[in-house]
Amino acid sequence: MPLDSPVPEQPTLTDGVVTLRRWSAEDVDEAVAGHDEVIAHWFGWPVDGVTPERMRAAIERWHTAYDEGRSEVAFVVEAEGKLVGNVDLRRRADGVGELSWLLFQGQRGRGFATRAVRMMADYALSEEGQGGLGYWRVEAKVEPDNHDSLRVATRSGLRREGVRRVERGRGDREETTSYVVLARLVSDPPLTEPESFRALLNSFLPRKRAIGQLLVRDRDRRVLLCQLTYKRDWDLPGGVVEVGESPRLAVGREIEEELALQIEPGSLLLTDWLPPWGGWDDAVCLVFDGGQHDAAILAEMVTQPREIRTAEFCTLDQVEERCADFTARRIRAALAAADSGVPGYTESGR
């Protein structure tokens, strides 16, 4: 909207259950009566500080922000004939708005917030000629342990994009050290389309790291181990599976990149779950059969110096000496699976 264009009147929006409308002075007493510590925290006021005077000042600020260029748009949320909360959108950059919302005590958990946030996002992303704000992106920042608000955001069609860390508070208000960023773009498919629903689920469902390794033995049943540059313990050759990559193909790729060996991965021998440890999230390690080879294969090997110091065939005694305890357990379990022909499952090698 050009700077000299008049600001359109703030609309009233409804989906038939929830209505969003402009705040008015008549809403003050009902809003004050419905406040609790959650609302006080949202405003940055003390618990006993949600007064009629402060509420009137907030409404006047919202009106001014809207009337002087819509830098902030706040709506009363109404349902079942009464005021149940507030939804707010602040312009953070050109075409980008940040959503926030709250429901009054006794009104949470009834789906009102989801409906309100969805309508507000639709309004913000609609073209100005269609009565919207013409934004290309709306986002919300939610504390990681605020599970109720995370559910509202995702059910409203906002996709989880990641966690942003912050270092200090804002003014005299104390802020969390991190928050989850969720957003919806004007180019996202409509929420009614299966593609949009799948993408939404994909943005917040858990993702687990996968590691592919290869169990390569020589004719004396020694195991090929790598001495790595970035940790003290030795390990089986392999590495992290890339996004969209087959674990089996990943193992072959890692062996060729790190050791310049072309070994076709065989069947899956072992699935080993690794619990969170030392700053790492949990992961699943998939050990594939690399078969038996002559020790002469080492002469063909060219290690990648950035990650591999050296590699050699090791006895089980050397495995115990050089590997972390969970790695040694995993190798023993993978050898047992290779001998029996029955794939195994372990947790930290047990």
Cα separations (Å) of 234 from 132, 164, 273, 277? 60, 34, 19, 17
For the segment 296-325, what is each residue's pLDDT rounded down to a tens digit? 888 888 888 888 999 999 999 999 999 999
Q: 9 burial class (0-12, 13-18, 19+ CB within 10 angstroms)?
A: exposed
Q: Which CATH entry fits the domain spanning 209-347: 3.40.50.960, 3.40.50.1100, 3.40.640.10, 3.90.79.10? A: 3.90.79.10
CATH code for residues 13-204: 3.40.630.30
In the chain, % helix, strand, coil (3-state, to 5) comes to 35, 30, 35
Q: Report the alpha-carbon distance of residue 283 to residue 210 in Å, rounded.
A: 6
Given a cut of 70, whether residue 4 has pLDDT beyond it is no
CB of 38 closer than 8 Å to CB of 44? no
Distance, in Å, from the CA atom of 127 to the CA atom of 186, rounded to the nearest integer, reads 10
Domain spans of the chain, in order of start? 13-204, 209-347
Q: Are 76 and 20 in contact (CB under 8 A)?
A: yes
How many Å apart are CA 344 and CA 341, to the nearest integer?
9
What are the pLDDT digits (tens) for 254-298? 999 999 999 999 999 999 999 988 777 899 999 999 999 988 888
Contact of 261 with 224, CB cutoff 8 Å: no
pLDDT digits (tens, 9 = 90+) for 214-255: 999 999 999 999 998 888 899 999 999 998 999 999 999 999
Inter-residue contact 212 to 258 (CB < 8 Å)? no
State pLDDT tens for residues 136-155: 999 999 999 889 999 999 99
Q: Token pair for residue 305?
A: 């110096």
Q: What's the mean per-residue pLDDT of the chain?
A: 89
Tokens, residue 190:
């409509």
Angle of helix 147-155 relative to helix 112-125, nearest 10 degrees, comes to 50
Task: State the pLDDT at residue 70.
Answer: 95
> What confidence tier does 2 reach under pLDDT thresholds 50, 70, 90?
very low
Does this model's pTM top 0.85? no
Query: Does the structure show a pLDDT above 50 at 207?
Result: yes
Q: Classify residue 299 by its DSSP letter.
A: G
> Among positive and negative, which fits the CA dihedral 258, 260, 261, 267?
positive
